[in-house]
């Protein structure tokens, strides 16, 4: 079920401020469950699943619904569309691709051909501000029939399995986290938690973990478990600590990143559970990146927070790559961790 | 018809030096007009239509090869290293999905071009260099050694799509669109029953143009024509290019003028276009054209060459872009040219 959910959600288009598609999908999936569902003012989807009893610690799980994408910020008189990234995107993964605008129309992002480059241009990576989408329009008026200023746009990218147990798709950051949460919510028999659980499907993470700030205020948990896809740099030419974490190394439980110092007791607990259950577990070998934990841990008088992530290559590109085994193990660790966290 | 010809031709791999799948597809399409359509040992697709031995012969040329990469090495950690085949644009590679045409595997492999995310990337201003490109296939070294060999070609995946204004975008439109224009011309002539032809027609869809017109040298020698018309893509106006160097999409066939092209043929082409209301534009190149015409012109005792080009945006990227009406203009012009007395 985890992978079916992941595949379906990877195909949905939701950037910060425009999370409707993913939110509506989740609401639809939860239709026949007995959860309390509400959407808060900023667009977070807050789900409460009542357990058999209340436990000592109120726990909130969090994953963000938004992916990195683009916005049309200007249409010139020839019908070319200037785009800006919504979230952090490297210009190298933008040029030479197709993006799909809200209306469904696809534009290609090309540029001055390599043969015509002069001097420094030959080794330069053009900035996103110099790139534009071409839908084949000849004028601004023609373009505006299909694309308006402010329209979001998304990478066009097919989800598929490849190699020996690997998955590629767009938006796996953080549809993976959402898929884990949905798996826990929908799998009645497997995850029939005794405890009450709050699930926050947050918005606007990619533009500053904003939804999480509102979500944590609305839920006021004692503890939070953030589910993410986190950056793995275990690619050719990278060695040692620069890999950050590795695919095949199991779920990533970080002690610190640029947004949060994680709760040490929860961190140790995660590794203890992993060791006892035969789950491979790793930490990040660089202090880098950040996620909703950054907003959550310091809100409402303090929330003890941990993040459990699947290591993911090529983050913030159309081709995020996860290991299927890591995904399964991340779900397994999460389920065991929640149960122990509740009674800490 | 042109759109579907382009889509079919762009849908098969044929990286320089390993053109077979594309050559075979093109041969099949050519065989509808030239029953002797064949693929030579170098990957050139050849065919002929001999009307009358007293007529002069003309060679219609487009190249069938596309740019790409080749596997050069398998790292211990399973990543593939590559060498470029043709003038690849490295700026567009990071995080692209690619297909590795793995010769020992029963089906092609999918791969992703490695890259580092913005959170840790060191120098976002510099484009990746060939030596730093690596492909992630999700396999270990041991697994890969059973699936692929050095030299196996790699292409960047991109869906063939239709845009507004009758434009299409895909990889390999350079120069499968040229081949499509020739097939379209042959279709017109067949439809008219080959009535008014003033030439014996030979066709070649060449191999290895992207490596320096090598297939053309071989094919032109074997075809031994007196005249030739090459069709290739040229620069289409887009931001960053200027009118002086690029043709406009939708404004028709770019007729080439160059010291290495035959001026009489150009003038005849131009007159034909004007007389028949075929949209055209003029492309002036003061030196070599950078196409097969350069090689064909000095074949054997010399060949009189004309060059028709298609204005194309985003050359050598997976999102090359052209307008169908321009391909149509080139095809129509070729068909008309073949029905007019040689100059």
B292-312 pLDDT, tens digit each: 999 999 999 999 999 999 999
Sign of CA pseudo-dihedral A244, A273, A49, A343: negative
Task: Give the angle subtended at the CA of A57 by the CAs of A52 and A63, to the nearest 5°.
Answer: 90
* Beta partners for residue B66, in sequence order: B15
| Residues in chain A within 8 Å Cβ distance of B114 | 235-237, 313-314
Instruction: Let me know: does B101 contact B155? Beta carbons within 8 Å.
Output: yes
Q: How far is CA A260 from CA A212, A252, A302, B75, B266, in A?
A: 13, 15, 12, 36, 69
The residue of chain B nearest to residue A125, with distances taken between CA atoms, is B127
pLDDT higher at A343 or B104: B104
> Do A138 and B97 count as a contact with CB atoms less than 8 A apart?
no
- Cα–Cα distance, A93 to A316 (Å, whole number): 9
- Cα–Cα distance, A309 to A334 (Å, whole number): 9
Choose among A142, A172, A181: nearest CA to A67. Answer: A172
The residue of chain B nearest to residue A238, with distances taken between CA atoms, is B116
Residue in A108, A146, A163 nearest the CB of B137: A163
> Which of B67, B116, B128 to substitute to test the interface with A, most A CBs within 10 Å?
B116
- Cα–Cα distance, A173 to A120 (Å, whole number): 34
> Which of B119, B143, B283, B315 to substitute to test the interface with A, most A CBs within 10 Å?
B119
- Does B123 have pLDDT greater than 80? no
> Do B319 and A89 count as a contact with CB atoms less than 8 A apart?
no
- The pLDDT of residue A187 is 85
- Cα–Cα distance, A203 to A292 (Å, whole number): 10
The residue of chain A nearest to residue B123, with distances taken between CA atoms, is A125
Residue in A95, A236, A316 nearest the CB of B118: A316
Minimal C-alpha gap between A47 and chain B (Å): 31
- The pLDDT of residue A75 is 98
Backbone angles phi, psi at A77, to 5 degrees: -65, -20
> Which of A114, A160, A290 to substitute to test the interface with B, most B CBs within 10 Å?
A114
Q: From edge to edge, which strands make up the β-sheet containing A166-169?
A: A160-162, A166-169, A320-323
- Cα–Cα distance, B158 to B22 (Å, whole number): 16
Residue in A80, A137, A138 nearest the CB of B239: A80
- The pLDDT of residue B124 is 76
Minimal C-alpha gap between B308 and chain A (Å): 19
Residue in B128, B136, B250 nearest the CB of A313: B136
Non-local CB neighbours of B313 within 8 Å, separated by 6+ positions: A110, A134, B236, B237, B238, B249, B320, B321, B322
Choose among A70, A66, A59, A72: nearest CA to A45. Answer: A66
> Do B110 and A160 count as a contact with CB atoms less than 8 A apart?
yes
Place of tokens 């974490």: A245
- The pLDDT of residue A195 is 84
| Residues in chain A within 8 Å Cβ distance of B317 | 95-96, 110-111, 113
- The pLDDT of residue A54 is 77
Place of tokens 């169908």: B324
pLDDT of B126-177, one tens digit each?
A: 899 999 999 999 999 999 999 999 999 999 999 999 999 999 999 999 999 9
pTM: 0.95
Longest dimension (CA), chain B: 70
- Cα–Cα distance, B99 to B50 (Å, whole number): 40
> Which of A235, A309, A311 to substitute to test the interface with B, most B CBs within 10 Å?
A235
> Do B159 and A315 count as a contact with CB atoms less than 8 A apart?
no
> What b/e readout covers B245-273, taking b as 16+ CB neighbours within 10 angstroms?
ebbbbbbbbbbbbbebbbeebbebbeebb
> Do B97 and A286 count as a contact with CB atoms less than 8 A apart?
no
- The pLDDT of residue B125 is 83
Estimate to the nearest angstrom the gap between the alpha carbon of A318 and the chain centroid: 12
Choose among A288, A295, A307, A302: nearest CA to A209. Answer: A295
- Cα–Cα distance, A324 to B139 (Å, whole number): 13
Burial class (CB in 10 A: 0-12, 13-18, 19+), B243: exposed
Known catalytic residues of A are 205
Residue in A112, A123, A135 nearest the CB of B127: A123
> Do A97 and B92 count as a contact with CB atoms less than 8 A apart?
yes
Residue in B93, B110, B241 nearest the CB of A112: B241
- Cα–Cα distance, A132 to A75 (Å, whole number): 9
ipTM score here? 0.94
| Residues in chain A within 8 Å Cβ distance of B112 | 168, 313-314, 319, 321
- The pLDDT of residue B300 is 96
> Do A88 and B119 count as a contact with CB atoms less than 8 A apart?
yes
CB atoms within 10 A of CB A159: 19
> What b/e readout covers B210-223, taking b as 16+ CB neighbours within 10 angstroms?
beebbbbbbbbeeb
Q: What is the mean pLDDT of chain A?
A: 95
Q: What is the mean pLDDT of each run of 10 residues along chain A (344 residues)?
A: 97 97 98 94 96 87 98 98 96 97 97 94 94 98 98 98 98 98 87 87 96 96 97 94 96 96 97 97 94 96 97 97 98 95 90
> Do A235 and B87 count as a contact with CB atoms less than 8 A apart?
no
Q: Would you place residue B87 in the very low, low, confident or very high pLDDT band (cuts 50, 70, 90)?
A: very high
Could you tell me whether strands A197-202 and A59-64 are parallel, antiparallel, or unpaired per DSSP bridges? parallel
| Residues in chain A within 8 Å Cβ distance of B111 | 162
> Do A98 and B91 count as a contact with CB atoms less than 8 A apart?
no
Non-local CB neighbours of B190 within 8 Å, separated by 6+ positions: B32, B33
The residue of chain B nearest to residue A90, with distances taken between CA atoms, is B118
- The pLDDT of residue A254 is 96
- The pLDDT of residue A51 is 85
Q: Which two tokens stand for residue A254?
A: 């970080």
pLDDT of B21-76, one tens digit each?
A: 999 999 999 999 999 999 999 999 999 999 999 999 999 999 999 999 999 999 99
Place of tokens 């807050």: A46
Range with the poorest average pLDDT among A51-60, B88-97, B259-268: A51-60
């Amino acid at each position: 079920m985890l992978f079916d959910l992941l595949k379906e959600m990877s195909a949905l288009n939701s950037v910060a401020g425009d999370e409707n598609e993913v939110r509506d999908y989740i609401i639809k999936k939860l239709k026949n469950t007995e959860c309390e569902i509400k959407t808060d003012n900023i667009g977070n989807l807050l789900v409460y699943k009542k357990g058999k009893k209340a436990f000592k610690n109120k726990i909130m799980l969090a994953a963000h619904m938004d992916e990195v994408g683009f916005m049309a910020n200007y249409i010139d008189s020839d019908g070319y569309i200037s785009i800006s990234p919504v979230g952090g995107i490297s210009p190298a993964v933008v040029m030479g691709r197709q993006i799909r605008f809200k209306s469904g129309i696809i534009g290609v992002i090309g540029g001055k051909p390599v043969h015509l480059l002069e001097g420094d241009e030959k080794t330069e990576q053009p900035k996103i501000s110099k790139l534009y989408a071409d839908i084949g329009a000849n004028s601004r008026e023609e373009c505006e029939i299909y694309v308006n200023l402010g329209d979001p746009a998304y990478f066009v990218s097919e989800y598929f399995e490849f190699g020996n147990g690997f998955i590629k798709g767009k938006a796996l950051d953080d549809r993976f986290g959402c898929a884990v949460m949905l798996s826990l919510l929908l799998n009645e028999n497997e995850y029939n938690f005794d405890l009450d659980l709050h699930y926050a499907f947050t918005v606007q993470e990619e533009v500053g973990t904003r939804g999480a700030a509102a979500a944590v205020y609305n839920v006021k948990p004692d503890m939070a478990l953030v589910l993410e896809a986190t950056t793995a740099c275990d690619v050719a030419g990278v060695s040692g600590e620069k890999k950050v974490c590795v695919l095949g190394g199991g779920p990533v439980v970080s002690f610190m990143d640029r947004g949060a110092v994680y709760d040490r007791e929860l961190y140790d607990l995660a590794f203890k559970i992993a060791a006892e259950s035969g789950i491979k577990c790793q930490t990040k070998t660089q202090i880098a990146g950040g996620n909703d934990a950054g907003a959550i841990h310091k809100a409402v008088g303090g929330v003890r927070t941990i993040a459990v992530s699947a290591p993911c290559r090529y983050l913030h590109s159309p081709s995020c790559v996860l290991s299927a085994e890591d995904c399964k193990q991340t779900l397994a660790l999460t389920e065991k961790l929640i149960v122990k966290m509740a009674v800490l | 018809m042109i759109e579907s010809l382009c889509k079919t031709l762009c849908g098969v791999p044929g990286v320089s030096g390993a053109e077979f799948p594309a050559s075979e597809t093109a041969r099949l399409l050519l065989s509808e007009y030239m029953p002797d359509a064949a693929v030579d040992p170098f990957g050139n697709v050849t065919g002929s239509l001999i009307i009358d031995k007293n007529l002069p012969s003309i060679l219609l040329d487009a190249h069938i090869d596309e740019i790409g990469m080749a596997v050069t090495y398998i790292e211990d950690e399973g990543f593939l290293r590559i060498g470029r085949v043709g003038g690849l644009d490295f700026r567009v590679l990071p995080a692209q999905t690619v297909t590795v045409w793995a010769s020992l595997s029963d089906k092609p492999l999918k791969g992703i071009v490695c890259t580092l995310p913005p959170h840790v990337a060191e120098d976002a201003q510099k484009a990746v260099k060939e030596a730093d490109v690596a492909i992630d296939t999700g396999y270990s070294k041991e697994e890969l050694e059973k699936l692929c060999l050095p030299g196996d070609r790699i292409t960047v995946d991109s869906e063939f799509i239709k845009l507004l204004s009758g434009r299409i975008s895909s990889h390999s439109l350079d120069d499968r669109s040229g081949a499509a224009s020739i097939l379209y011309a042959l279709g017109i002539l067949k439809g008219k029953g080959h009535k008014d032809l003033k030439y014996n027609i030979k066709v070649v869809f060449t191999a290895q143009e992207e490596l320096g017109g090598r297939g053309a040298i071989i094919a032109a020698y074997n075809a031994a024509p007196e005249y030739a018309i090459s069709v290739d893509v040229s620069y289409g106006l887009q931001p960053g290019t200027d009118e002086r160097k690029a043709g406009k999409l939708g404004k028709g066939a770019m007729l080439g003028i160059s010291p290495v092209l035959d001026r009489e043929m150009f003038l005849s082409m131009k007159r034909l276009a004007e007389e028949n209301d075929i949209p055209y534009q003029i492309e002036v190149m003061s030196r070599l054209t950078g196409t097969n015409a350069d090689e064909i012109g000095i074949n054997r005792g010399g060949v009189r060459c004309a060059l028709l080009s298609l204005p194309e945006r985003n050359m050598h990227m997976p999102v090359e872009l052209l307008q169908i009406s321009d391909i149509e203009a080139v095809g129509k012009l070729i068909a008309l040219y073949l029905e007019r007395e040689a100059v």
